[in-house]
Structure 1
Amino acid sequence: MAGQLGKNTVTVGLGAAYLPSYEGSKDYQFSPAPAALAYIDGHTITYIGNRLSVDLIGDKANRDWDIQAGPIGVVNLDRTTTSGIDDPRVRALGKIGAAVELGGYVGIGKIGVVTSPYDRLSVSVSYRHDVTGVHDSGIWQPSVNYFTPLSTKAAVGLFATAEHVGRGYARRYFSITPDQSAASGLPVYNARSGWKDWSVGGLATYSITGNLLKGWKVVGGLTYGRMVNDFGDSPIVSQAGSRSQWLSALGLAYTF
């Protein structure tokens, strides 16, 4: 966020997220939502929840365009525990180990698009692959993001994204084996690779001390997602869960 204003800043924050108890669930739970954003000499480091990315290409050479590329890592904790899952059928499917997904991303952003010299529209695509053997497959994720400051104290952002996952991911998280069917009562199901979901959302921040470049601020966000194709049709979603997925978060952050 602060990078849009051209200053070196570091922002750290902590909040609470209200999100599905597993991917595709109709039941929700609260979870801690840590985050950090560093913008240093044109390079951006972003940490949100279970995701970390680093933009290795500085954007100071040309302030009108922001070329982005760098590594990305995600720790997939979906169904690593069954204690927070309300549906007994999904609990009976058993736990899944944590998957570490590593890869990279590329993107391009245009600065000064609509509302001010500091707003930015960007598009990117990332690829990551499980290196722990939990699902042993890849995930493609295209994204579109728009950010604009409304004043020295307030800013908003909008985004849209989708995920295309491999066969191993579909099998691990959305298929049901005969043994799992016998234990849970859900029918046997074989999910195939493909587009898993899409989501749109927005965030807003307001400074309560200082401005966007320094001090305390309130940050909030809301996302709507939709499970599609074999993933939305999986009994884990269509019978025990919901194709519609909401995520909301609210917290405090400090920029210095």
Structure 2
Amino acid sequence: MLSYVNRFSLLSLTAAALAASGAHAQDLEDRNQLTVGVGAGVVPSYDGSDDSVVTPGAVVRGKVEGFTFFSRGPYLFVDAIPDAQSGGLDIEAGPVGGARFNRTRQIKDRQVRALGELDTAWEVGGWGGVAKTGVITSDYDNLSFRVSYLHDVAGAHRSYIVTPTIEYGTPLSRSTYVGVSVSADYVGKGFGRYYYDVTLAGSQASGLGVYGAAGDKAGFAKLNLGIVGAKSLSGDLRKGLSIFALGGYGRILGRYADSPIVRDAGSRNQWVGGAGIAYTF
């Protein structure tokens, strides 16, 4: 099982990098294709931590008979609407599912570790969006907007996450691609309560202050920014080996940042970075 720390981790950025390296070909050609890759990088030890850990990642993107699938972190998205054949505008929608491993392992801070490890949240839902090819810099750049909805079905936080995302990518040449992304996580009351509140028993065990405001109501918990770059080693992004590098910044917001788990034991500023290699078949 992959060591997953937070939703906007190395895995999420790696997926964006691989999407960049494969999307150029998939948007331009109506053919089956598969891109897989592995990477490693440095990420916070939990969502809101100021300690870092090294973690691996593995991601996938593919297209079969006009239907696209791709991963973002440990989540798999399937586009149930065939890709547009002309005009450069693609309407996207389909199911999504995966797991959230936040604070289930690799908790470096002593006080947060004393609160105890949390259960894995298995989340399923749906997503929809629109993508346009040929927007700003060339006939091949791509701008996309999507919104995903996930709900925990395994009894961990028992709540939901709504994530609007904007991504833009452009080829600088036949072998080089760069992309940027902006997203935000809007979470339900149960999510805030599970990951950010501190009970009296938890306070006594950890020394952190009692905190209950995160679970009072739903709200935006985190803003995420990312940049990725991919370079084909074969000279063509549509096939063969590629390498990628990535970086990202996340900002814990509002009452979630005021939690002692973040304010006293961690940081609202979340930095990630890494690199890896991918292969397009």
Category of TM-score, reference length = shorter chain: over 0.9
Aligned twin of 1:30: 54
Structure 1 partner of 2:263: 238
Q: CA deviation at 1:86?
A: 2.1
Q: How does 1:33-112 map to 2 (within 5 A)?
A: 33-81=57-105, 84-112=106-134
> Is the counterpart of residue 200 in structure 1 residue 206 in structure 2?
no
- State yes or no: 1:137 paired with 2:162: no
Matched to 1:85, the amino acid is I
Match of 1:223 in 2: 248
- Hey, what's the Cα distance between the residues in 2 that align with 1:16 and 1:155? 20
Matched, 1:255 2:280: yes
Higher helix content, 1 or 2: 2
CA–CA distance in structure 1, aligned partners of residues 264 and 116 of structure 2: 17
For these two proteins, the number of residue pairs brought into alignment is 254
Letter in 2 for 1:124: R
Checking the alignment, whether the CA contact within 8 Å between 1:33 and 1:249 is kept in structure 2 is: no
Q: Is the 8 A contact 1:33 1:48 kept in 2?
A: no
Q: Which residue of 1 aligns with 2:168?
A: 146
Partners in 2 of 1:218 and 1:241 — Cα distance?
32
Q: 1:250 and 1:48 mapped to 2: Cα distance?
A: 16
Q: Which amino acid aligns with 2:257?
A: G
* 1:13 corresponding residue in structure 2: 37
- In structure 1, the residue matched to 2:5 is none
> Residue 147 of structure 1: CA displacement?
1.2
Identity of aligned residues (%): 43
Give distance in 2, aligned partners of 1:80 and 1:184: 17
Once superposed, what is the RMSD of the aligned Cα atoms? 1.2
Distance across 2 between alignment mates of 1:126 and 1:112: 24
Could you tell me whether the CA contact under 8 Å between 2:24 and 2:238 is conserved in 1? Answer: no
Structure with a larger share of its residues in strand? 1
Q: CA deviation at 1:64?
A: 1.7
State the distance in 1 between where 2:240 and 2:139 align.
Answer: 23
SS of 2:111's equivalent in the other structure is: helix
5 Å matches for 1:173-184?
173-184=195-206
SS where residue 135 of structure 1 aligns? coil
| Matching residue's letter, 1:148 | T
**Aligned equivalents of 1:67 and 1:147: distance in 2?**
17
Letter in 2 for 1:185: G
Most deviating of 72-81 and 42-51: 42-51
Letter in 2 for 1:224: Y
Q: Quick one: distance in 1 between partners of 2:199 and 2:95?
A: 35
Q: CA deviation at 1:253?
A: 0.5
What is the distance in 1 between the residues matched to 2:41 and 2:76? 18
- Residue 23 of structure 2 aligns to a residue whose secondary structure is helix
48-57 or 145-154: bigger deviation:
48-57
Distance 2:159 2:112 in 1: 23
Name stretches of at least 5 consecutive residues in structure 1 with no aligned partner: none
Task: Quote the Cα distance in structure 2 between the aligned partners of 1:61 and 1:210.
Answer: 26
Could you tell me how far apart the structure 1 residues matched to 2:66 and 2:23 are? 7
Does 2:184 align with 1:157? no
Tell me whether 228-237 or 33-42 shows the greater mean CA deviation: 33-42
**Residue 77 of structure 1 aligns to which amino acid in structure 2?**
F
Distance 1:232 1:37 in 2: 33
Q: Decide which moves more: 44-53 or 128-137.
A: 44-53
Q: Which runs of 5+ in 2 are unaligned?
A: 1-19
Maintained 8 Å contact 1:16/1:33: yes
Structure 1 residues 198-236: Cα deviation after superposition (integer angstroms, max 9, x where no partner): 011111100112410111110121111100011111000
In the TM superposition, residue 115 of structure 1 has moved relative to its aligned partner by: 1.3
More displaced 10-residue stretch of structure 1: 35-44 or 230-239: 35-44
Deviation at 1:91, TM superposition (A): 0.5
Secondary structure of the residue that 1:242 maps to in structure 2? coil
Q: Tell me how far apart the structure 1 counterparts of residues 73 and 129 of structure 2 sit (CA, whole Å).
A: 21
CA distance in 2 between counterparts of 1:130 and 1:219 reads: 32
**What secondary structure is seen at the aligned counterpart in 1 of 2:204?**
helix
